[in-house]
């Protein structure tokens, strides 16, 4: 089943072995940072010179810069596939899971002198990609950027199997476990390998964020998937809920989920199910309380590195603030200077998310027939507006996709969209909608069916919303 992936991975590995020095280009989110770290460690083990550049978006300008620099090889991780058409003249490998723009670069007009030279030029385009979409798989759930990068790394050297844990962190960071409440598809192959070799343990547990590090009442207070009616966002209500159940909040220190007894955990979960059902939120929401969780066996208990989801958030807390190098060093093993810095950034990130959600409540979310949206202007950082949209999406009983706008520091408008699963199963694809709607207003975009983004000119927001809405309507009709 995975043989076509592994065969392609081996081809990329050959190309990497042939290179003198490599420039890795990766994305600033958790999946991008883990991807970049897997690539970097495997190059180190090969004894190759490398440099790593983290970018928030791969644009034409960056590709031009790379062409001018002309390194022996560029390794794009967790990005690149959406820009393959522009890569003519680059020697590159791509390990990505975004929807590809092309299978090979477009040959520019001035290079197509005659028909034979055209074919020669096509063959000269040295870009090889490993991407689930090329095998008919859904890149939003089958495998992450870190996963495809890992498949190449393990072809390069079997010692790289220790990087499988990072591949799981990348997949969880991209929320690839969120649909089935467990990792599926090619992610499962990686998970079993990580488990067999003693790097990852998995089991069924509460899916709450912060099981390893947060006081239980806080874990409940900040729960956004699922939203806990009457509890989420209310510190006093969460303490009251636990106290009524006879669960001590504190012993010597605040008790975390990992400190509770099996009976206490069971009691909390069954009361939460009752609460959700009694508020007529339905069993789909209640079912999201429990799912598979992933533990990094070699990390210390009670640290954010022990749980894959918390590890991913720690990485987002660095990269989304343009300090991906800090997360990168943590992935490669630093537990000193960079790790301390990452921990303090994680603290800020959490506060920042809470205040950003409050800002949206202040601004208000506008509902339309097929979507809802908010415009954060300068008040929310463009790099986290997508995470904020994810958190708010789960609150909506009507199951509308949420479109978020924020001012970008390049003078444009950053768009993030997050969609309920139900729309995706009806055939809506936001990677297509973002790509085409942004193009119509003079911008660019892409991503995954369920989570995508774009950059559009200031002032085009309302025209853009009309186009998006019309496209959703059409896709639903089909
Ligand atoms: O660029 P990249 O693939 O790393 O980003 C994917 C983004 O999509 C992440 O921010 C992730 O949280 C989001 N996502 C989501 N819901 C899903 C799948 C992905 O919000 N079901
Ligand atoms: O930034 P955000 O987390 O909302 O991005 C969601 C997805 O959309 C990511 O996979 C990202 O790579 C993609 N995206 C894109 N073009 C943009 C912005 C985001 O393809 N201009
Ligand atoms: Zn990704």
Q: pLDDT band for position 203 (50/70/90)?
A: very high
**Considering the domain boundaries, does residue 435 fall inside one?**
yes
Q: Is the CB of 31 under 6 A from ligand 1?
A: yes
**Considering the domain boundaries, does residue 380 fall inside one?**
yes
Q: How far apart are CA 309 and CA 224, in angstroms?
A: 14
For residue 137, the 8-state DSSP code is -
For residue 83, the 8-state DSSP code is G
Token pair in block for residue 44: 């180190």
| CATH number of the domain that residue 424 is part of | 3.10.310.40
Q: Is the CB of 138 under 6 A from ligand 1?
A: no
Nearest residue (by CA) to ligand 2, atom 2, is 386
- Taking Cα atoms as reference points, which of 426, 430, 428, 425 lies closest to residue 389? 430
**Ligand 3 mean position, distance from CA 144 (Å):** 5
Q: pLDDT band for position 112 (50/70/90)?
A: low
Cα-Cα-Cα-Cα dihedral of 470, 473, 475, 478, to 10°? -130
Residues within 5 A (CB) of ion ligand 3: 31, 78, 145, 174
Task: Among 446, 455, 457, 464, say which to mutate for ligand 2: greatest number of ligand atoms within 8 Å of CB.
Answer: 446
**Considering the domain boundaries, does residue 247 fall inside one?**
no
pLDDT at 274 over 60: yes
List phi, psi (to 5°) of 108. Answer: -65, 155
75 vs 233, residue with greater confidence? 75
Q: Which of 148, 176, 204 is the last residue of a domain?
A: 176
**Considering the domain boundaries, does residue 215 fall inside one?**
no
Q: Which of 132, 154, 176 is the last residue of a domain?
A: 176
Least trusted range by pLDDT, from 18-32, 47-61, 151-165, 225-239? 225-239
452-468 pLDDT, tens digit per residue, is 999 999 999 999 999 99
278-328 pLDDT, tens digit per residue, is 988 878 889 999 999 999 999 999 999 999 999 999 999 999 999 999 999
List phi, psi (to 5°) of 29. Answer: -95, 180
Where are the strands (E) in 300-449, listed by range?
366-367, 372-375, 402-407, 413-418, 444-447
**Ligand 3 mean position, distance from CA 31 (Å):** 5
For residue 257, the 8-state DSSP code is G
Least trusted range by pLDDT, from 70-79, 234-243, 277-286, 357-366? 277-286
Q: Which of 146, 176, 206 is the last residue of a domain?
A: 176
Helix-helix angle 145-156:30-46, to 10 degrees = 10
275 Cβ neighbours under 8 A, 6+ residues apart: 228, 229, 230, 231
pLDDT at 23 over 60: yes
pLDDT at 80 over 70: yes
The confidence score (pLDDT) of residue 110 equals 74
For residue 72, the 8-state DSSP code is S
Q: How far apart are CA 132 and CA 142, in angstroms?
A: 7
Q: Where are the alpha helices (DSSP H) in 163-215?
A: 164-173, 186-196
Token pair in block for residue 173: 């960071």
The confidence score (pLDDT) of residue 117 equals 59
Looking at the chain, how many residues does it have?
A: 478
Q: pLDDT band for position 119 (50/70/90)?
A: low
**Considering the domain boundaries, does residue 346 fall inside one?**
no
Domain count along the chain: 2
Task: Among 452, 455, 456, say which to mutate for ligand 2: greatest number of ligand atoms within 8 Å of CB.
Answer: 452
b/e per residue 178-192 (b: at least 16 CB within 10 A): beebbbbbbbebbbe
Domain membership of residue 446 as a residue range:
364-477
What pTM, to 2 d.p., does this model score? 0.93
pLDDT at 397 over 80: no
Q: Is the CB of 390 under 6 A from ligand 1?
A: yes
Portion of the chain with pLDDT greater than 70, in percent: 96
List phi, psi (to 5°) of 80. Answer: 115, -40
Place of tokens 């939460």: 272
The confidence score (pLDDT) of residue 118 equals 56
- Taking Cα atoms as reference points, which of 89, 93, 94, 120 lies closest to residue 105? 89
Nearest residue (by CA) to ligand 1, atom 12, is 174
Q: How far apart are CA 215 and CA 217, in angstroms?
A: 6
pLDDT at 123 over 60: no
| Residues flanking ligand 2, CB < 6 Å | 57, 82, 98, 386, 416, 444-448, 451-455
Ligand 2 atom closest to residue 389's alpha carbon, by position in its atom list? 4
Least trusted range by pLDDT, from 36-40, 214-218, 276-280? 276-280
For residue 50, the 8-state DSSP code is E
**Considering the domain boundaries, does residue 316 fall inside one?**
no
Least trusted range by pLDDT, from 59-68, 106-115, 273-282? 106-115
- Taking Cα atoms as reference points, which of 126, 17, 134, 35 lies closest to residue 79? 35
The confidence score (pLDDT) of residue 113 equals 61
List phi, psi (to 5°) of 177. Answer: -90, 0
Task: Among 96, 453, 457, say which to mutate for ligand 2: greatest number of ligand atoms within 8 Å of CB.
Answer: 453
Q: How far apart are CA 216 and CA 362, in angstroms?
A: 28
Is the CB of residue 403 less than 8 Å from the CB of residue 415? yes
pLDDT at 122 over 70: no
pLDDT at 478 over 90: no
The confidence score (pLDDT) of residue 211 equals 94
The confidence score (pLDDT) of residue 225 equals 86
**Ligand 2 mean position, distance from CA 258 (Å):** 34
Q: Is the CB of 211 under 6 A from ligand 1?
A: no
Q: Is the CB of 417 under 6 A from ligand 1?
A: no
Place of tokens 């509770």: 260
| CATH number of the domain that residue 98 is part of | 3.90.1640.30
**Considering the domain boundaries, does residue 314 fall inside one?**
no
**Considering the domain boundaries, does residue 214 fall inside one?**
no
């Amino acid at each position: 089943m995975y043989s076509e992936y592994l065969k392609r991975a081996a081809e990329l590995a050959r190309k990497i072995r042939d290179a003198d020095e490599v420039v890795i280009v990766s994305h600033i989110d958790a999946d991008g940072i883990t991807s970049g770290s897997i690539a970097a460690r495997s190059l180190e083990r090969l004894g190759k010179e490398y440099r790593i550049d983290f970018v928030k978006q791969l644009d034409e300008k960056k590709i031009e810069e790379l062409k001018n620099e002309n390194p022996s090889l560029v390794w794009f991780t967790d990005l690149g596939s959406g820009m393959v058409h522009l890569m003519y003249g680059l020697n590159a490998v791509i390990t990505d899971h975004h929807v590809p723009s092309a299978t090979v670069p477009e040959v520019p007009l001035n290079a197509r002198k005659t028909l034979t030279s055209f074919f020669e030029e096509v063959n000269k385009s040295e870009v090889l990609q490993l991407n689930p979409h090329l095998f008919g798989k859904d890149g939003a759930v089958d495998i992450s950027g870190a996963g495809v990068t890992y498949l190449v790394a393990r072809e390069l050297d079997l010692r790289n199997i220790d990087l499988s844990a990072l591949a799981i962190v990348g997949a969880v960071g991209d929320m690839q476990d969120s649909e089935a409440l467990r990792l599926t598809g090619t992610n499962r192959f990686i998970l079993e390998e990580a488990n067999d070799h003693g790097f990852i343990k998995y089991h069924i547990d509460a899916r709450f964020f912060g099981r390893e590090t947060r006081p239980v009442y806080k874990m409940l207070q900040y729960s956004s998937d699922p939203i806990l009616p009457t509890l989420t966002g209310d510190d006093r209500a969460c303490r009251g809920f636990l106290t009524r159940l006879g669960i001590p909040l504190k012993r010597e220190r605040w008790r975390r989920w990992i400190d509770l007894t099996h009976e206490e955990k069971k009691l909390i979960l069954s009361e939460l199910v009752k609460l959700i059902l009694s508020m007529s939120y339905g069993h789909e929401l209640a079912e999201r309380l429990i799912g598979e969780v992933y533990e990094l066996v070699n990390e210390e208990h009670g640290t954010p590195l022990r749980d894959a989801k918390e590890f991913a958030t720690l990485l987002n807390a660095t990269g989304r603030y343009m300090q991906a190098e800090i997360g990168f060093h943590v992935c490669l093993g630093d537990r000193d200077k960079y790790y301390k810095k990452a921990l303090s950034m994680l603290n800020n990130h959490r506060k920042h998310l809470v205040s950003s959600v409050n800002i949206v409540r202040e601004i208000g979310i506008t509902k339309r027939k097929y979507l809802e949206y908010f415009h954060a202007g300068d008040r929310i950082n463009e790099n986290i507006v997508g995470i904020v949209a994810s958190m708010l999406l789960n609150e909506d009983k009507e199951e509308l996709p949420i479109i978020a706008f924020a001012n970008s520091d390049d003078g444009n408008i950053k768009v993030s969209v997050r969609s309920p699963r139900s729309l995706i199963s009806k055939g809506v694809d936001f990677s297509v909608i973002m790509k085409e709607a942004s193009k119509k207003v003079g911008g660019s975009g892409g991503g995954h069916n369920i989570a995508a983004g774009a950059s559009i000119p200031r002032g085009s927001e309302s025209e853009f919303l009309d186009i998006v809405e019309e496209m959703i309507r059409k896709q639903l009709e089909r």
